[in-house]
Amino acid sequence: MANSIDLKKLFAEFIGTFWLVLGGCGSAVLAAGFPQLGIGFVGVSFAFGLTVLTMAYSIGAISGCHLNPAVSLGLAVAGKFSWKDFPYYVIAQVLGAVIASAILCIIVSGKADFVNIGDFASNGFGEHSPGKFSFLSGFITEIVMTAIFLFVILSSTDAKAPAGFAPIAIGLCLTLIHLISIPVTNTSVNPARSTGPALFVGGWAIEQLWLFWVAPFLGAALGAVTYKFIFSISFKKPVKGK
């Protein structure tokens, strides 16, 4: 592996995804429903957005700050990332998510009235959707939200976009995605984020996990293709008149 890719990039992805899951899922598990002071859906949405925003400025220059297997896939489809590095990034991201979930599990179990970890911010559909939305609703939501996320990532980091503002656009986009889709699937758009908590919940969370790999991957490819189509047309040099 060391001969194939810079290990510093992998460690950066590990740390970044670790922070995304600890900050985002941690806010949902520890702070969202806290009596009288709970941050609710809005607070959790901003927590996820802030993890990406802070890490984009921190490790963007090192690894590109993907923090998400779907983002890595979308960037590869768009020709912005090497396919040979893709599996290594995915492994680092999933490991970061799992370790963050393990630490969060230890923290949660230290509560005085602790019984079990419950749904542990896992993603789900049907009976395990926060709003009891169907499989089809969850599948469509995850595809569309991930497609838009990749389109924003690729467009805001394009050479033609204003320099230095991409992390803000990307972080706010993820915040908006969560504001829309938490009631439907608890918001994934990130297979690593889904895998970490699911491994500790087991049962239904593992059984439904496949959707939160397949749908974000499909959405990421769709977002990348859309970006390539729009930008190839919008930024062609104008044809000079005769």
Q: Which CATH number fits domain 7-109+121-230: 1.20.1080.10, 1.10.3720.10, 3.80.10.10, 3.40.630.30?
A: 1.20.1080.10
pLDDT at 170: 98
pLDDT at 236: 57
Burial 175-191 (b: 16+ CB within 10 A, else e): bbbbbebbbbbbbbbbb
Burial 204-223 (b: 16+ CB within 10 A, else e): ebeebbebbbebbbbbbbbb
Angle in degrees, 0-180, between the axes of helices 86-109 and 69-77, rounded to the nearest 10:
160
pLDDT at 1: 42
Q: Give me the residues of the chain with pLDDT under 50, please.
A: 1-2, 242
pLDDT at 204: 97
Neighbouring C-beta atoms of residue 229, cutoff 10 Å: 10
pLDDT at 115: 83
pLDDT at 37: 75
